[in-house]
Structure 1
Amino acid sequence: MGKRFGSLQALADVSLELAPGEVHCLLGENGAGKSTLCNLIFGVYAPDDGEMALDGRAYRPAGPADALASRVAMVHQHFSLVPDLSVVDNLLLGQQTRGVLRRRECADRIADLSARYGLQLSPHARIQDLSIGERQRVEIVKCLMREPRLLVLDEPTAVLLPAEIAALLDVCERVAATGCGILLVTHKLAEIKRVARRATVLRGGRIAARSDHPEQDLDDLVRAMIQRDTSPLRPRERTETPPPAGPSRKPEPALMVDGLTVRDPDGVVRLDRFTLLVEPGEIVAVAGVEGNGQSELGAVLSGLLPATEGRWFASGKELTAAAPRALTAAGVGIVPEDRHAVGCITGMSVAENLFLDRLGRYRRFGLLDRAAMRRDALALMQRFDVRAASPDVTFGGLSGGNQQKAVLARELTLDGLSFLLAAQPTRGLDVGAVEAVYGHIRAACDRGVGVLLISSELDELLAVADRVVVLYRGRVMGQCPADVAHRDRIGAWMAGHTE
């Protein structure tokens, strides 16, 4: 099959076979064409060349509704949920109800699927009140309710914790055992090793490699994907700087949080007297199961949510009630967990998004010097490997991984950057891009930037951070040096167990 968007050839001569009961993993760098292929299968796009067959019959869906009618379901990389509605009502959308909304029956089924597969959900919770991880679980359950014969999963584990990932892979195996074919897009090698019967690598919109034994061919698959070998993330080496001679003033902490508390509209405490210091040049990681206060902490430090109690400071300046614009002016960089909602403006160009916080730099006689902005954007795109046809393309047309790299590029190059909040900074990135992202974050730390890193990737936290702080039900359960020797202790804290 082939697919073109203007001058961009997104897919060219791509052939893929998926057998009943098979888990087939699709790999590729960000922007390789994986999501485009998934959207062709689900009917979001129509192919320009080639054809598809389902169960031996011609298959050319006119849209997602046709695909669903053929029992082809898809979990999208970006959520397709209505924020104002409850979980139940979102799952009832598109269902044949014959004029009667069977909410109780649907809620019971959600509860059954949630318990069976370990995907905890509250059926009557509003989507806008759920964390990113919880919203992803809604998407997965929505597909499972349709009992599909072909299930397309576009990076479904990007926001899940290790235990949740294991549960989802169990789901994949059990669903495949019923005869359903599963196309799983993933960047995580452990997932490929665990469930893939076959694997295909896309690079530049073309097939770069195939394997009938992916567990044995992982190194070759990765090499085909990024055209080089990778090495595991290694703990950051820190060099001690000798104290200067004579009296000196200790620099202000990059971040000081004093008793931050957040209560939701129902009075439930989501963040409970959170207190923390992050020194300049230090990476402090926040670990915990999704929904235990990390999102609220990130929202407060981003200026998007007022704290009920407490204060916080960056480099000695109080920013408790500061708006996002004031945070930027104070040298605070924000990489939000939901880049689509608060990290970018998808209808604007890549260049405009890269310089949203410094457009004044390009103002001449009341107009934007777009030539200069385009030139600087190209340099930034090359530095951070943001792949797009040009800086003028619409930001929403980039792959999810390239959108994430663009947000990172903007925040890491902020003028006067002294503190960086990085929430899920590697979500949706391929293994090569993960290395690059943490390389940029470490380089910022070496320049004296303090970093608060919120991530569900515990292995990454242990490899990158200096300290790990664990949140459970909004409270700090404990903290320790970031070392694999403390993995069991951290796991116990995440489950709510104290020493």
Structure 2
Amino acid sequence: MSTPALTLQGLGKSFGDVRALHDVDVTVESGTVHCVLGENGAGKSTLCNLVFGGYRPDAGRMLLGGNEFHPDSPAAAMAAGVAMVHQHFSLVTTMTVAENLLLTQHGLRMRRRDLTDRLDEIAQRYRLRVDLDQRVATMPVGARQKVEIVKALLREPSLILLDEPTGVLDPAEIDALIDTCRAVAADGTAVVLVTHKLGEVARVADAATVLRRGTVAGGGRMSKTSIAELLTAMVGRTAADLDPTVAATLGLDTAGPRAAARQRHSTALDATAPVLSVEGLCAERADGSTALAQARLAVRPGEIVGIAGVEGNGQSELVAILAGSASATGGTVTLDGTDITAARPATRTELGLGVVPEDRHRDGMVAGMTIAENLFLGQLGRFRRFGLLDRRAIGRAAQAELDRFDVRASGPWVRMGSLSGGNQQKVVLARELSATNLRCLVAAQPTRGLDIGAVDFVLTQLRRAATEGCGVLVVSSEVPELLALCDRVFVAYRGALTGPVETADLTAAQQISELMMGVAA
């Protein structure tokens, strides 16, 4: 029997009073894809950082290729043959791809010509081709991740860790990543893929480990376990207990979500004047290319409208224009009959528009501020007494929102940046949905990168907002999610919005797929 690529025995790690990992045993075989599953806060990223030398364990031992392994830094881990692709990329955006790759390969004394030769090899073996002269700042997210993977493969590691790599990718990019994982494993490298998407596990995993609250809750070789067993180990529920939209996103069920969508459509509110209208909207990117071309859509009170599409077809620009952070070159945006095309973001908020941005770290929160400050930064006037801010009142109001939105935090005064991704998204949602005058909510990729429990909660809140009469516009790359959640779905393709497709139609999935490829555009 061959020696495992990685063995973890009784591994433990705590941060103050918080026990992140306890008595964790994991064995990863060479030439396999081993998925590590778990909800946010389960310890997945902590485990990766222990193996990569970012943290040092408090207990247990690690073996790499059968030898004792004690990395005291990422550099030590890389020298031993471990590579890692982090959830948040580490590329220098002002540099070119070549400069980024050479910057991190200094220990290999690599020249530009040598780099080109190695990249040709990687492109042929794994179909990972990158443009060395392209500046990272101009690259979409999927292309940047490809550079990160190439950067890791240049060192020819025996073990590669990928921490939530699909959270920022569209479906086509996920397919390509899965193919890459298989190809890398076929060459003998051990691949550890951290994810919470069971559909991906079913497609690529040779083995899996489920972490729950810092301990191993289940797993094993996929030939001896099932997706249903992994789901129960991860969240303590079966597929039948899940919200049908969540089940659809996970690929666990199809009939239930379609029936739910048809039922929701049949009970949707009667047609009324749109709360949000977009007419002939046009926009250009910084390089002069067309971002939006005569885009049109309408959202009625009480309905959920979706926008599907491969990333880069104008969705991000549309959301930015709706939020007021970017300008259109033509067309109009109307909210409840009021033209807000040129209105400031604050004015849009006052008129009842809420926005959950695609990049919550950049546009939706201030990581260095507290939860309370993030919740009420634009509403501090309501907490003034005799000209002074009532900190106790702010704390009470913030705690009420934390309780209502099930935010897992020790209190309202902790830093926003210390929360998990799911809890950060809940805070952003709480801020937007708690507005007393909310008329329309725009949510861009609201479940991207979230675990099952957080996805379930976010989708429930979106439905609740619609039930209470709010119009909801959801931009997502998760087509099954949109089919089960929305009444109608538009498709963004080359700057235009095609459709809409009625989700009650039994051929809706096929129609959306064709529109995304431009077949019926």
Q: Same fold (TM over 0.5)?
A: yes
| Alpha-carbon distance in structure 1 between the residues aligned to 2:167 and 2:357 | 15
| Alpha-carbon distance in structure 2 between the residues aligned to 1:21 and 1:225 | 25
Decide whether aligned partners of structure 1 residues 472 and 242 sit closer, same or farther in structure 2, where only a CA change above 3 A counts.
closer
Give the alignment partner of residue 238 of structure 2, picking from 213, 229, 238: 229
Give the alignment partner of residue 441 of structure 1, picking from 462, 482, 491: 462
Match of 2:169 in 1: 160
Letter in 1 for 2:512: I
Q: Does 1:53 align with 2:75?
A: no
Match of 1:194 in 2: 203
| Alpha-carbon distance in structure 1 between the residues aligned to 2:104 and 2:189 | 21
Match of 1:23 in 2: 33
Decide whether aligned partners of structure 1 residues 106 and 284 sit closer, same or farther in structure 2, where only a CA change above 3 A counts.
farther
Contact 2:127 2:180 in 1 (8 A): no
Decide whether aligned partners of structure 1 residues 360 and 149 sit closer, same or farther in structure 2, where only a CA change above 3 A counts.
farther
Give the alignment partner of residue 309 of structure 1, picking from 327, 330, 334: 330
Residue 290 of structure 1, CA deviation: 1.1
Match of 1:94 in 2: 104
Give the alignment partner of residue 16 of structure 2, picking from 3, 6, 12: 6
Letter in 1 for 2:88: H
Residue 184 of structure 1, CA deviation: 1.1
* SS of equivalent residue, structure 2 residue 27: coil
Q: Does 1:73 align with 2:106?
A: no
Match of 2:189 in 1: 180
Give the alignment partner of residue 220 of structure 2, picking from 211, 217, 221: 211
| Alpha-carbon distance in structure 2 between the residues aligned to 1:179 and 1:191 | 21
| Alpha-carbon distance in structure 2 between the residues aligned to 1:173 and 1:139 | 17
* SS of equivalent residue, structure 2 residue 472: strand
Give the alignment partner of residue 355 of structure 1, picking from 370, 373, 376: 376
Question: Which stretch shows the higher mean deviation, 379-388 or 331-340?
Answer: 379-388
| Alpha-carbon distance in structure 2 between the residues aligned to 1:143 and 1:175 | 11
Structure 1 gaps, min length 5: 244-249
Seq. identity, %: 51
Structure 2 gaps, min length 5: 1-10, 246-256
* SS of equivalent residue, structure 2 residue 55: coil
| Alpha-carbon distance in structure 1 between the residues aligned to 2:423 and 2:488 | 29
Q: If each structure's helix is expressed as a fraction of its own residues, which one has the higher value?
A: 2
Cα deviation digits, residues 26-77 of structure 1 (max 9, x gap):
1111111211211222222222333322112222222222222223222222
Residue 166 of structure 1, CA deviation: 2.0
Residue 386 of structure 1, CA deviation: 2.1
Match of 2:152 in 1: 143
Match of 1:455 in 2: 476
Letter in 2 for 1:498: A
* SS of equivalent residue, structure 2 residue 411: coil
Match of 2:248 in 1: none
Match of 1:246 in 2: none
Mapping for residues 226-305 of structure 1, pairs under 5 Å: 226-230=235-239, 231=242, 232-233=244-245, 234=257, 235-236=260-261, 237-238=264-265, 240=267, 252-305=273-326
Q: TM-score scaled to structure 2, two decimals?
A: 0.86
Contact 2:268 2:303 in 1 (8 A): no
Letter in 2 for 1:278: V
| Alpha-carbon distance in structure 1 between the residues aligned to 2:446 and 2:60 | 37
Contact 1:134 1:291 in 2 (8 A): no
Match of 1:376 in 2: 397
Match of 1:406 in 2: 427
Match of 2:517 in 1: 495
Residue 444 of structure 1, CA deviation: 0.3
Letter in 2 for 1:35: S
Contact 1:472 1:493 in 2 (8 A): yes
| Alpha-carbon distance in structure 2 between the residues aligned to 1:261 and 1:224 | 48
